Every structure is written in C-alpha cells, then in structure tokens.
Chains A and B, each alone.
Chain A
Amino acid sequence: MILSKIFKNTLLILVTCLVLSACATKRNVETGQMQSDVYTGTDSVEYLADGVPDRVFFATNESILTTASRETLRTQAGWLRKNSSINVVLEGHADERGTREYNLALGERRANSAKDYLMTYGISSDRISVLSYGKERPVDAGSNPLAWSKNRRSVTVKAN
C-alpha cells in the first residue's frame, strides 16, 4: 500500500520533472541547487543533531515529498526514536508567489505531509505538532526561483 503510494508519488515527480525541465532556467542548472524546482542545496539547512537535517523542500504548489525529503525525514524519525523525550513542531512554509490565505493552507498541508511520513516511521502523533506560517517567514528575501525554492519548506523544530 505504502509502496504503491511511494511509487505513485515518484512517478508524479518524474512527470513533473519532465514537464518542468522545459522551463528550468540555465542558472539553476549551473548552480546545481535545484532539481526541477525543488531545492537540493544546503544553504539554509540547519541540523537537529549531527547528520540530522532539519528541513525538507517542495515543488511549487506541491506538498509531495521527494526521494531526498523522505530520506531526511527517515533520519529525523531515527533521531526522534532515540530521543523519545523530544517533541517537535513541524513548521510549514510557502513561497511569496501565492495568495496569503491559500499559502497558509499550503504550509499546513506541507507540514502534515512531513508529519504523516514521520508517523509512518513510528513517531507518535502526540509528539508532533504542526504550525503553518504560509509565506510570512521566508528564509531568503530574494524574488527569484532559487530563493522561492528555499522558502517552500517544512522545518522540524524542537518543541522542548
């Protein structure tokens, strides 16, 4: 069931890549920090612990987790299992290219997408809360595709 879902998601991402590759700008290819329009760099990434990145990134308008995002979240789940007293807040964000209210909902959907995945790996929902900031708290103030890709994110933050 989960496998088929993952397969479906991967397929969707592949299709998205194909569609978007047509409009991917040269600059992104050069910097190598974006794949289709999902951020793959490490610029804004912080660490919950050694080797445990705190955030995952999303394509425009999407809340589907990429392969890299799932790997990050599996690492987070492993760390959370080892540190069972730690609770987390998943902060969902959107880029500035959407209406404010829709972006609040989109941030919530992204954070929940990350939450669902952590739960799949055995983390109790009691330990995870979700908070959407919509487009209110960008990490990168830029008005360009790379900045927007850094801002489309779900960040896992220690709550205690």
Chain B
Amino acid sequence: MIKKFYLLAICFLILPLKVHALIEVDITRGNLSPLPLAVSPLSIDDKSKKSFELILKKENIGSEISIIVENNLRSSGLFNPLSKDAFLQAPDIANLKPRFEDWNLIKAQALITGKVTFVDEKLRVEFRLWDILAGKEMMALAFTTVPNNWRRVGHIISDKVYKRLTGEKGYFDTRIIYVAEQGPKTQRIKKLAIMDQDGANNKFLTLGNELVLTPRFNPTSQMVTYLSYFKNLPRVYLLDIETGTQEVVGDFPGMTFAPRFSPDGKKIIMSFAKNGKSDIYTMDLENRIVERITNHPSIDTSPSYSPNGKHIAFNSDRSGYQQIYTMKSNGADVKRISFGNGIYGTPVWSPRGDLIAFTKLHKGKFYIGVMRTDGSGERLLTENFYQEAPSWSPNGRVLIFYRETKTDAKGEGFSAKLWSIDLTGYNERLVVTPTDASDPSWSSLLSN
C-alpha cells in the first residue's frame, strides 16, 4: 500500500571535516531564545533544475528542500531560521565559501548551504553546516537517492543539523500513524491514516467501513497494531504497511484492545476484557503463544513496555480509581507509582527509559505530564478540557497527543486535533492534518 523506503536507497558520502569546539544548543530546558540561523536555498544548475521540474513538478527543488529544513528546525522551537529576504550571498557562492561577515551582519550564528544536482537519473544533494562566529565548516555531507525521496532528504539534513548542534538524535525523518476522524460526534467515521512528521504525504490506510482505534508502530515502523471493530467484534489487528495485509491477532472470546509492540517487535502486549474484568496479555507473533501477565478483578489496561523490555507500565483501577502501576515483564512485582491528586492513565515509557508520560484527570481538567519511572518528579506539561494518549518522538524530546474541544449548548463545535509539546513544557504546536485526528503514534527514525 505504501512504498517502503529502503535505507539503501540513500547513500551517505561523508566528506572530510575538521572538528572545532563550536556552537551548542541546550535542549534540556525550555529554549526561550532559539538559535538564529540561515538556511540558504540549495543551489542548482539550470540543467538539473529542468530535469527535476519535469520529474517532480517542482520549479526549484533546491529551494523546496531548504524550506523543509527550515520548517523542521523552526518547529523544534530550538532554532530561529532567518528570513531569506535578508540574505546577501547567492546560494552557489555561499556553498563554496560563505562570506562570514555578511551572515554575521544579519545575526545568523549558523548557516546551512548546499547544492542539488541531477546525476544518472538520481538526486544528489550535498550540504554544509557553517559556524558563522567561528568562521568554520562544522559538517559536510552528500546524499544520492531517487528523486521522489526529495522530502526525506530535507528531513535527513534536518536530523543531521539537529544532531550536530544539540548532540542528540533528531526526529524529523519519521512518520505519524493516527486515526482520521470525520462526521458528527455521535456517528464518527474513523480511518487509519499515515503521514510524514511534518504532515506531508498523508494517506488513508482503511476505508472507514469499521471503527478503528489506537494504531501503534512496531520498532521498524513497518507494521502497525490497532483495534478494529470489523464485523462488530473489537479485536487487535496487525497491519503490514508495505503490503497492506491485515490479520487479527487478538482473536480471544471477548474484546482485545490497547495493543502495543514489545521493544524487540516480537510480541504484542494488549488487554483482554471478559466478564467485566480486563487483564493484560502478550502474544508472541512468531509462535502465537499467549501469556497472561495480570490476573485481577479490576480493569488493567494501556500497557507499555520499558525500552529494554524488562518492565511494563499500565493503568489499573484496582485501588478504586485509574492509577499507574509498573511490574516486571512477567507480571511480578506490581507497584503503584502514581500518588498525586486525580486519576492517571495511558502510561508510555520514554524511548530513553528514564520517564513515563501519562494523562491525568484532576478537577475536570486533563493534563499531559511526565514522571520518573518510580513515580517521583511528576511534571505536568499542558492542561486542557480534554487531551490524552501521548506518544514519544524517537529521541524522547517531544510528545504528540490528541485534544478534543468542548461542544456548545447545542452539542456543536466538536473537533479532535493532534498537538505536540516539548518535554520542557514549551513549544506547544498544532500538528495540521487534513481531517480531524486522534490516537497518534510516532514512528522510529527511518534513517540513521
């Protein structure tokens, strides 16, 4: 259904690079003064320009790629890409040797330049990152790939720049799977949808004939597990994004729901509801062996593995109300970790392993927050009428979640949208989708 982008399709040619002590961006706290930088349009010769125009229907692919980089860096909240109107140097010359004084004059601290060429039916992009104050080249890389991958080239450049300037992996060459919503609140039509992290390349993966909920990627981001009401039997399914093959995996005599992959991708962990109680189970995808992990008369759901696979966080109402618990992956050593005021749910273990993101309901307001894995250090990042279901960016720096609006007295004005927020609690952003949207899940980094 969707073409898998092979890593092989993009070849990295690392050009020589001299390392100096250069600019650094601190991302561990809210960044109130983002680093001013200039993203020069990638230069392109006339012949290449015409070739790409023919294939990609884009007038200047060099500018288009630089716009992707610019938008990505801006959306991170850590960088402030300056207006191109102020640039004094032409893209081709800047890429050879920037006149640092000119860039310094417009207060740019870093500069990204590059060049696009059409070589053997392929797109070749080289880019350079310059430290303006030090007057030095920080990084130079070149990629060759099929022309259709041009957006991904923009994302990969963004990831390289982010990593070079912050010291941490980026999250731009990623995708989001989510539930696209349409229709009145009482009769919502829901479809699985997938898009690039920046909202481009949106595709619907199901037709909307049956209700679908809570899609989640596997570690390689090629499979998705989700809940489908196919034939009015709510069951956990598996979808291969590349082939479009769907199969039921949680076909137990009752409802299976709240699925997620184990960090090695070999198991699905989910809830199974029967006779008014919900417990947590795993299924090994290879041999289909089912294991029961919890056994309690309460509702145990929303399980999420720690990145090393040794622990599971989940929510349970065994104490009377929904609270967050952790346990060993075999179900032993169950510990309640949420003790603040209110109801806690949807724990999701950070890819870095140190934090658990959650939804909290307190005095009629919903919060997205994080706590350490022992429940200490609770921090609420955002408050709203309704929001839930955080999902981590692969570098563990950003959370995506969905938010619903309050309807008016006539029951009108309902909407559901995706939002993202930094771990610092700053940089809250609407993630634009073609339709209403909920239940987002962030993929891993597609290239590395």
Contacts and interface: CB of A to CB of B under 8 A. Distances in A.
A153 to B, nearest CB: 13
Contacts of A97: 361, 364, 386
Contact of B407 (A61, A105, A131, A142): A142
Contacts of A101: 214, 257-258, 271, 301-302, 345-346
Contacts of A116: 276
Interface residues of A, number: 29
Contacts of A102: 299, 301-302, 315, 317, 322, 345
Interface in A115-150: 116, 131-132, 136-144, 147
B232 interface: yes
Contacts of A108: 254-255, 273, 276, 278
A140 B385 CA distance: 18
A105 B234 contact: no
Contacts of A28: none
A141 B273 contact: no
Contacts of A104: 213, 227, 234, 255, 257-258, 273, 301
A141 B407 contact: yes
Contacts of A96: 386, 404
Contact of B234 (A99, A132, A137, A139): A132
Nearest to B407: A143
B257 A141 contact: no
A112 B255 CA distance: 12
A61 B186 contact: no
B359 interface: yes
Interface residues of B, number: 47
Contacts of B234: 104, 131-132
A106 interface: yes
A9 interface: no
Contacts of B407: 141-143
Interface in B107-153: none
Contact of B276 (A63, A100, A138, A147): A63
Interface in B311-349: 315, 317, 321-322, 343, 345-346
A113 interface: yes
Given A105-B271, A139-B186, A142-B407, A100 B412 contact: no
A101 B273 CA distance: 11
A55 interface: no
Interface in B405-448: 406-407, 409, 411-412, 414, 438-439
B257 A142 contact: no
Interface in B252-302: 254-255, 257-258, 271, 273, 275-278, 299, 301-302
A66 B302 CA distance: 29
A143 B406 contact: yes
**Interface centre among A61, A63, A141, by most B CB within 10 Å?**
A141
A98 interface: yes
Contacts of A113: 276
A132 B301 contact: no
B177 interface: no
Q: Which of A102, A109, A112, A141 has its CB near the most chain B CB atoms (within 10 A)?
A: A102
B299 A136 contact: no
B80 to A, nearest CB: 36
A16 B364 CA distance: 18
Interface of B: 184-188, 211, 213-214, 227, 232, 234, 254-255, 257-258, 271, 273, 275-278, 299, 301-302, 315, 317, 321-322, 343, 345-346, 359, 361, 364, 385-386, 388-389, 404, 406-407, 409, 411-412, 414, 438-439
28 contacts: A61-B317, A96-B404, A99-B302, A99-B315, A99-B322, A100-B214, A101-B302, A102-B299, A102-B302, A102-B345, A105-B271, A105-B273, A106-B299, A109-B276, A109-B277, A109-B299, A112-B276, A116-B276, A132-B255, A132-B273, A136-B188, A137-B186, A140-B411, A141-B407, A141-B411, A141-B412, A143-B385, A143-B406
Interface of A: 61, 63, 96-102, 104-106, 108-109, 112-113, 116, 131-132, 136-144, 147
Given A102-B302, A109-B278, 12 more contacts: A61-B317, A96-B404, A101-B345, A102-B299, A104-B234, A108-B254, A109-B299, A113-B276, A132-B234, A136-B211, A138-B186, A143-B407
